[in-house]
Structure 1
Amino acid sequence: MISRETGLPITEDEHIIQSMLDIALTAKGTRVMRRNYGTILVPKIDAPMNDEYRMMLMSSLMTAFAEFEPRVEVRRINVNIETAGKPSFMIEAVKKRSNEVLNFNRSFTGGNDAI
């Protein structure tokens, strides 16, 4: 397993997180051979940050992770809207092989490196 940023070896946990971030930050419909890959997080980033949108984000993330990251079972996703109107999310997942819990938090900042 290799980091896509540094080209150096990374742990399984880091690779899973890297994969989940790729899924979260890829806009649905942008992959030519995998039109369903990704979430609505990117195309709707200028949407009003209210509870309805927060629920849509959590649902989109949960569905995408279930479909495209088979190594984990996501147990909890929490999306928070920060004061600047930018979403951040906390994910708790369980690795299917070892039953180890994997937690991570990310904040969406925009731009190409997004999270």
Structure 2
Amino acid sequence: MAGMNRRTGRWLSGWDHLLQSLEVLFSTMVGTRVMRRSFGSVVPALLGRPINQSTVLRFATAVIVAVELWEPRFRIKQISFEKSRNSPEKLRLGQLTMSLVGEYRPRAHLGDPTPEGGERTINF
């Protein structure tokens, strides 16, 4: 899949296009797209909430559901919130870092779920 970089207007394809698509997916609230009301995630609704176990679980669930529904090119195998990257100081400031580990399947939107390369990690 290919498209345009939303910041530079240049051609974008492959892994970089997937990363941009995930960014759009996680920043779009369900119901805000006029012609595609079901597109998006509930991630934006969770921003600004206290970082506790319940919120982190809801956040991880929202990410998994959104990717499963809208992004066939990435299959999540694991979500982690590493303690070393989420110090108490960062959490007090409302900063939570997560890693998505999964398979990149560049032709999955065409019905071919064959992964390319090994597992890949995306850090947010």
Tell me which interval the TM-score lies in, with the shorter structure as reference length: 0.7 to 0.9
Higher helix proportion = 2
2:71 corresponds to 1:93? no
5+ residue gaps, structure 2: 106-113
- Residue in 2 that maps onto 1:10: 12
Give the deviation of 1:63 after TM superposition: 0.6
**Which range moved further: 89-98 or 22-31?**
89-98
In 2, Cα distance between equivalents of 1:26 and 1:78: 22
Structure 2 residue matching 1:10: 3-state secondary structure: strand
Alignment of 1:1-115 (within 5 A): 1=2, 2-79=4-81, 82-83=90-91, 84-96=93-105, 97-100=114-117, 101-106=119-124
Once the two structures are superposed, residues 19-43 of structure 1 have per-residue CA deviations (whole angstroms, 9 ceiling, x without a partner) of 1111111112211232222222212
Q: CA RMSD in A?
A: 1.9
Describe the shift of the 1:33–1:78 C-alpha distance in structure 2 as closer, same or farther (beyond 3 A).
Answer: farther
Call closer, same or farther: CA 1:51–1:13 in 2, change over 3 Å.
same
How many pairs were matched up? 106
Unmatched runs of 5 consecutive residues or more in structure 1: 107-115
Deviation at 1:79, TM superposition (A): 4.4
Residues 79/21 of structure 1: CA separation in 2 closer, same or farther (3 Å cut): farther
TM-score of the two chains, using structure 1 as the length reference: 0.79
Which segment is superposed worse, 95-104 or 62-71? 95-104
Identity %: 23
Contact 2:48–2:94 at 8 Å: present in 1 too?
Answer: no
3-state SS, counterpart of residue 98 of structure 2: strand
Q: Give, in angstroms, the shift of residue 58 of structure 1.
A: 0.4
Report if aligned partners of 1:40, 1:60 keep a CA contact under 8 Å in 2: yes
Cα pair distance change 1:38/1:4, threshold 3 Å: same
The ranges of structure 1 where at least 4 consecutive aligned residues each deviate by more than 4 angstroms after the TM superposition are: none
